[in-house]
Amino acid sequence: MVAAASGSPAAGPATVFEDLSGVHVKQGGNPYDALINACDGSPDKLRTLYDAHRKTRNSQQRERFLAIEFRGLDIDPVLFKLENPDVEPGFRDTRHCFVFWARPPEHILRLASHLQMLLKQAAPNLWLMPLHRMHMTTLEIAHSRTAEEIADMVASTRPVISALTSLTFNRRARLVKPMISYDLSAVAVSFLPAAGEDQLTSEDRTEKDDEYTYHHLRRDAFNMASEHVEVASRYVVPSAHITLGRYLTQKDHATPEQREKWIQAIEDINNWLETEVWDVKDGEFVGEWIVGQERGLDARCGTLWYGGGRTIMTGEGF
C-alpha cells in the first residue's frame, strides 16, 4: 500500500463490523434506540443480545481461523508502517477522528494487562495496546477525516462537550462478565451490560440502577452530540470492548497447528475469566466496571486509531 496523498486519510484495516445480535437497525434517527426498543428497555434482554453478538462473532472467527482455506490474518498496513518505520520512512497516519471514550479504571487496566500477558504467551509477535492508551469507544462522531474537518466538528460540538463528558457522573452504567473477543485483525476484552448481578466495586447501587445500561448511555451521548453535529460512526453494534492487541505478522498463525493453539489459548482464557473473575467478590482480579469510575468520558480528537490523539476535555469521575 502506498502512503495517502497529503490531506487525504490513509486506508485502514478492512474488518467489517456486523451486528450479530439478531436485531435489525434501521437507518436514520438514533441507531441505539433499535436495540433498546426491541428489548423494551429490559437490562436482562439487552445483556442477552450483547452476549449473542459476541458469542456469535467468536464462533464465526473460530471457523475462519480453523478453515482449511485460511488465507491469512488482516494485517493493518498503517499500524505496520508506524511500528516498522524502515518500511516507509516518514510515513504518517493522516486519518483524523473525533470520539468520546470511556477510560478503564485501574482495576480494569490491571485485568487487561494480565490478559495481554496470557495472549502474548500464545502469540509472541502480537502488538499490544499500551495501557495508558486503552479505551472503549462510547461514541464515534467521525473517523478518517482531515484535521480541518475534525476541527470544524469539534468547534460545532463545543457547547455540549462539557455536559457530554460528564454524562457518566449521574448516569452510571455497569459492565460485567469480561470475555476475550477476536477476529482476523485484533483481539479485545468485551463486557456485557449488568442486569442485577451482585455488586463487586460499589455497595450503594440497587438492582434498579442497572436499568440504565451502557447502551442507554451510548443512546444519550448520540442524542446530545447529534444536536450539534452529524454523527457518522463506523459501527453501532452491541459491543462494549477494549482493544488489547493487533496482528502485525503472520508468524504466530502460519500453520494450522499454530492457529489451533491460538484458539485454544483464547478459549482457556475465557474459561478462566468465567470461573475466576465473573461475579467473584474479593478475587485477584475484578471484572466489574461502572463507567465513569475515576474519570468521566474523554472527548478526544486527532490521529487516534491506536489510542493516540489529544484530549479536548475529560468529564468528572467518581
The structural domains of the chain, with segments of one domain joined by +, span: 36-314
Mean per-residue pLDDT of the chain: 91
d(CA 182, CA 59) in angstroms, rounded, equals 10
Q: Is the pLDDT of residue 51 over 80?
A: yes
CB 288 within 8 A of CB 195: no
Task: For the chain, state the CA radius of gyration.
Answer: 19
Model confidence band, residue 204 (pLDDT cutoffs 50, 70, 90):
confident
Q: Is the pLDDT of residue 183 over 80?
A: yes
Q: Is the pLDDT of residue 209 over 70?
A: yes
The pTM of the full predicted model, rounded to 2 decimals, is: 0.90
Q: What is the mean pLDDT of residues 87-110?
A: 97
Amino acid at 47: R
Residues paired with residue 190 on neighbouring β-strands, in sequence order: 179, 241
Q: Which helix (H) or strand (E) holds 123?
A: none
Q: Which one has a higher pLDDT value, 263 or 41?
A: 263
- pLDDT, residue 26, reads 58
Q: How many other CB atoms sit within 10 Å of the CB of residue 147? A: 13
- pLDDT, residue 78, reads 96
Q: Is the pLDDT of residue 10 over 60?
A: no
Model confidence band, residue 234 (pLDDT cutoffs 50, 70, 90):
confident
User: CA separation (Å) from 135 to 31, 97, 180, 223?
Assistant: 22, 14, 15, 21
Q: What is the mean pLDDT of residues 37-43?
A: 91
CB 119 within 8 A of CB 244: yes
User: CA separation (Å) from 310 to 96, 106, 203, 301?
Assistant: 11, 21, 34, 6
CATH code: domain 36-314 is 3.90.1140.10
Question: For the ranges 6-20, 181-195, 272-286, 293-307, which has the lowest average pLDDT?
Answer: 6-20
- By C-alpha distance, which of 14, 17, 13 is closest to 181? 17
CB 24 within 8 A of CB 193: no
